[in-house]
Amino acid sequence: MKRMIQWVMAATLVYGLTVFTACSNDDDTNMSPATQEKLVTLPPGVVSKSFTMQTVRIVNMTDREQTTYEKKNVQVAFDGQDVYVSGFSSSFPKSFVKGTLTDAGTCLFKSGQYVGEDKTGEKYVVGIMDTGDKANQLTDFECTYDPEMRILTIPEDAKFAVAESDAPSHTQVSNILQNVTVMPGSFKEPSVVTLPEGLATEQWYITGSDDKDFCLNYGMTIGFNGQDVYIQGLFKELPLSWVHGRLEGGVITIEKGQFVGYYKDWQEVLLVGYDEELKIDDITLTYDADKKIMEHDNFIGFYGTDTRQVEYGLANGYITKERYIVPDPILLPSGVTASPYRFEYDVLTTDNEGYLVKEYDDLEEVMIGFDGNDVYFKFPHVDANGWAKGTLSPDRRTITIPSLQYCGSWQEQNYRQDYYLTGFEDKGNKEYELTDIVFDYDAQQNTISSSKTMCINSSYRILSYYGYCIFRNTKFTKKKEIATTPAAPEVEMSYNDLESYIRLELSIPLVADDGSDLLTDKLSYIVYYEKDGEQHEMVFRAADYQGLETDMVEIPYNLHVISRIARGGVTIMLDKTLDGIFTWTKVGAKVIYRGGGEEHASPIIWFDAKTLYEENELFK
């Protein structure tokens, strides 16, 4: 089972709000009897009780936006269908606003309720509707309501926020409240685990992977005090936080819900584990005292003190006394020449019940080199800097790659991904056994094949495969260079409002129309666009695509620019700020092949860009 827990923080930000600092104390307040009468007050006989309000507060500064997580004590009163809540105003935290329980199970607060007056003028609590542009709209605001727990919540995906303004008709606001939860009981600062005074500690190390499959490998501190175990630095994001566990029967149990501090300095978080069904559970580490190993094969993550999931932290935690050292990548020996091979395979994925099934078959190119009994493979599926190495059997009929062989890594800034090749067998009941990869080799036909399952893995010790990098029924066939015309590409464009780019997606066949193989180092493509009825070649500028040494029109098939141009044009990110991009009516591409001493090109295939822009309302 792979990690699939995503972290959630502050909800939609409110844009275009003018700064209005609203701070108050008794000296600032000069409330006339007339304005005093405008305050919301509790009906006679209605008594408020202490509740806790927690919010994400967004303050718009002149040069930036400041976000903080807040938790404070407020007063709440219920009177039939009427609900009175203090604390929506930061300037006048004791002032109440009134809401009404609805038949839909919500609590509706009318916008524009008066909360007080200071030197800058009268203050009202208003709802702010995010309309998607700079003209934000005042609105009532509505909370979900749990009648059993008496919890009021403004959902994190709400289209509005709560703020103060100097008049209900103005949108000069600051101190925006979002992700608001109001729950019974007074707020008390959670206690943290501390190391007992004088307890000796040891240096240990943890490996694993985070929620994006980036590799984790860092130090931590552990102290043993009889059956009590204290661990510091379980998460690299909170390296000074301690957690407490109990050792019994070779298992260290870390009770779920331990407060570990403030994630990113503002979000209170608890430490929890997850079971195989992704339900919150205690964290259990199997402990081998002789081998000095602690192991956790499920998930460990953060959970907000408001019971919201905050961030999934790591999977497959492996804690050892000796630090794991990533091997040096295997390189093709000097003087050995690798040749291109056609790589055919079935792509496997997991079905709804978690079993591996075939999703589709695919075709790629792999470089293979022979050096005596050693055989070197260069797979294109990962941006790895190394090769896989196999060994020919004495009868030269099979090639074996050892299980979990390191084949390189990809690294950018503080993120790293390591890649390991392994075979594995299904033992039933979703249990898998890791195996060597054994290929059949036919020297006369220049083919290498296997019906077994293999994958590109993210762990050096257990099965933890990357999606769409699970192969079965693999076959490698040596390619021959001939002159031929490449098949036409498929061209699509897509967009979603979470991205600032438009995606151009090409599917370039690696076989010609006559079925002959194409060599990727002799393949390239050109992107076109149509504007005002005229056809233009797109120029990929080095200033726009970091990683290009010069401006380019024709892009080699094997060119890969991290996060911008994927190998083979599978994904090409087009910045929305490109000159006149929204005036392009069509976008297309053609493939060029220079094999066998000749040059041939496919026809240009076009995609209707104008319709895509209109459907997504990208211009008005």
254 and 386: one domain?
A: no
288 and 358: one domain?
A: no
For 466-531, the three-class secondary structure string (H helix, E strand, C coil) is: EEEEEEEEEEEEECCCCCCCECCCEEEEECCCCCCEEEEEEECCCEECCCCECCHHHEEEEEEEEE
Look at 21 and 104; give whichever has higher pLDDT: 104
How large is the average pLDDT for residues 287-304? Answer: 88
Tally of domains in the chain = 4
379 Rama sector, left if φ>0, alpha if ψ -120 to 50, beta otherwise:
beta
Give the largest Cα separation in the chain, rounded: 102
Is it the case that residue 180 has pLDDT exceeding 90? Answer: no
pLDDT tens per residue across span 499-558: 778 999 999 999 998 889 999 999 999 999 999 999 999 999 998 888 899 999 999 999
224 and 287: one domain?
A: yes
Q: Cα 256 from chain centroid?
A: 24
Is it the case that residue 20 has pLDDT exceeding 60? Answer: no
Closest CA to 234 of 207, 257, 256: 207
Residue 433 bridge partners (DSSP): 425
Q: What is the pLDDT of residue 377?
A: 97
CB-based contact 61:119 (threshold 8 Å): no
pLDDT tens per residue across span 32-51: 555 667 899 999 999 999 99
Alpha carbons 111 and 139: distance in angstroms, whole number: 6
Distances from the Cα of 584 to the Cα of 122, 242, 505, 526, 580, angstroms: 51, 57, 16, 16, 7
178 and 40: one domain?
A: yes
Whole-model pTM over 0.85 = no
Q: Which domain holds residue 427?
A: 338-478
163 and 208: one domain?
A: no
Whether 502 is covered by a domain: the verdict is yes
106 and 249: one domain?
A: no
310 and 356: one domain?
A: no
For the chain, the straight-line distance linking the first and the last C-alpha, in angstroms and rounded, comes to 45
Is it the case that residue 29 has pLDDT exceeding 50? Answer: no
416 and 394: one domain?
A: yes
Alpha carbons 111 and 96: distance in angstroms, whole number: 13
Give residue 12's pLDDT band: very low, low, confident or very high (50, 70, 90). very low
Q: What is the pLDDT of residue 26?
A: 39
Helix (H, G, I), strand (E, B) or coil at 524: strand
Give residue 472's pLDDT band: very low, low, confident or very high (50, 70, 90). very high
CB-based contact 418:458 (threshold 8 Å): yes
Look at 459 and 171; give whichever has higher pLDDT: 459
379 and 473: one domain?
A: yes
Comparing 126-130, 187-191, 338-342, 576-580, which segment has the lowest mean pLDDT?
A: 576-580
CB-based contact 60:193 (threshold 8 Å): no
61 and 165: one domain?
A: yes
